[in-house]
Structure 1
């Protein structure tokens, strides 16, 4: 994702994670992805930004000891006006759980959920940071909503962020690609009863790795879990994993383009 495309409203522009053990989580992702860390905005408590080659890739924050929330990666979607987008989300049947509020000098954000209950963030950047080049080991390269069915929730995202929606026409495959300016930026995948009962609808972050099989083994060696062994599809070679606190994500060695 280039700096220009990251600013386009609706583009996935950031991912963050709230955990109980900030130090241990930093050690896990440093060993898995090579991330280094610097302090970030502290409005919601201790928070660090993850860097690759000096460029930002993600954020990790510390949950208060009395907050027993599910630990999960959150996808943030860009906006030019966080307050206006939050109001549109409410009007379209979504929920705004946190904010909008200022995240220091970096921008303004809100934590929301769509009508199916999937949590996502809204990010209005004030001071843009360079992003690590997509395709580098440890970078977020794709975001996909896993939901019950795409027709209703697809209308929500199309109305709020003005995506062009491209359906995959199939009798047994419920899938939409979200496009901005002709570019695919994210996808919606309706899996019905295939949704995990303990998670419900949720956004999934895909992180690029140099070797999906080796990275899957390393996840378990570092105290995480392998939820689905490596498999191949059109995107490349993937594995579904969880970190030691249970945050689920997908690792992918992307297939060559073209």
Structure 2
């Protein structure tokens, strides 16, 4: 297990979080699936815990108020040096800001936004909390990908927001962009056209590394979740798409040592 890179270039995915109705049951699911332990985090928006491995933060899970019927989904946070300035840029580029910017105690400053296609994401200005602190182990985020109808317009939004270098796959039947910062791939955008799930809409997908994709997929169902796309071989490993008991969709992948999965 190794420390993740501490330098958070603006635009780098740096954290993932989930808001659910049953916090205790969700903790148990991810404890059994990924081996996470849990510690309290900032409570400004209600009960909130951080999933940990060996005392290092991996992801956050919060509890929704009983009367809030929001979609249950993992959310990707992108690093920023100035949450307020980035929020203004989101608005000027055609996105919306739904929460914040606001301080999360001493941890940092954050906002929750949506791009012009409706994909929800967070921005994170780190202070005491840098974000995900471990990479390369079972239960750690390994990649983030935007699943959307088409990448052209939304790609221009993210390029304007964080000055990514955008690498496109030239194909008449494959719509795929890789976002690069300082020469390295950090995220991808995948246009799936009419195959975009109506219940999910345009959304960010988090990939978590696992030791054994098939075993992890079986465990998901044993723990009350479901398998959406069964285990199969991808360019950089064996992967599956699954959902937890409250319906939050994510992918699991045995990446055979690859930290960047731009061709999943």
- The normalised TM-score by structure 1 is 0.97
**1:3: how far off?**
3.6
2:225 match: 224
**Are 2:4 and 1:2 equivalent residues in the alignment?**
yes
- Preserved CA contact (<8 Å) 2:12 2:79: yes
- Preserved CA contact (<8 Å) 1:37 1:48: yes
1:183 match: 184
- Preserved CA contact (<8 Å) 1:53 1:132: no
Alignment of 1:24-43 (within 5 A): 24-43=25-44
Alignment of 1:12-51 (within 5 A): 12-51=13-52
2:113 match: 112
C-alpha deviations, 1:3-40, integer Å up to 9, x for none? 434x1100000000000000000000000000000000
- The normalised TM-score by structure 2 is 0.95
Secondary structure of the structure 2 residue equivalent to 1:31: helix
Unaligned runs of 5+ in 2: 260-264
Distance 1:28 1:191 in 2: 30
Distance 1:132 1:3 in 2: 8
1:166 match: 167
**1:133: how far off?**
3.2
Distance 1:152 1:233 in 2: 27
Distance 2:116 2:131 in 1: 32
**Are 2:253 and 1:252 equivalent residues in the alignment?**
yes
Residues 91 and 60 from structure 1, CA distance in 2 versus in 1: closer, same or farther, beyond 3 angstroms?
same
Give the RMSD, CA atoms, in angstroms: 1.3
1:149 match: 150
Unaligned runs of 5+ in 1: none
**1:130: how far off?**
7.2
Distance 1:77 1:129 in 2: 11
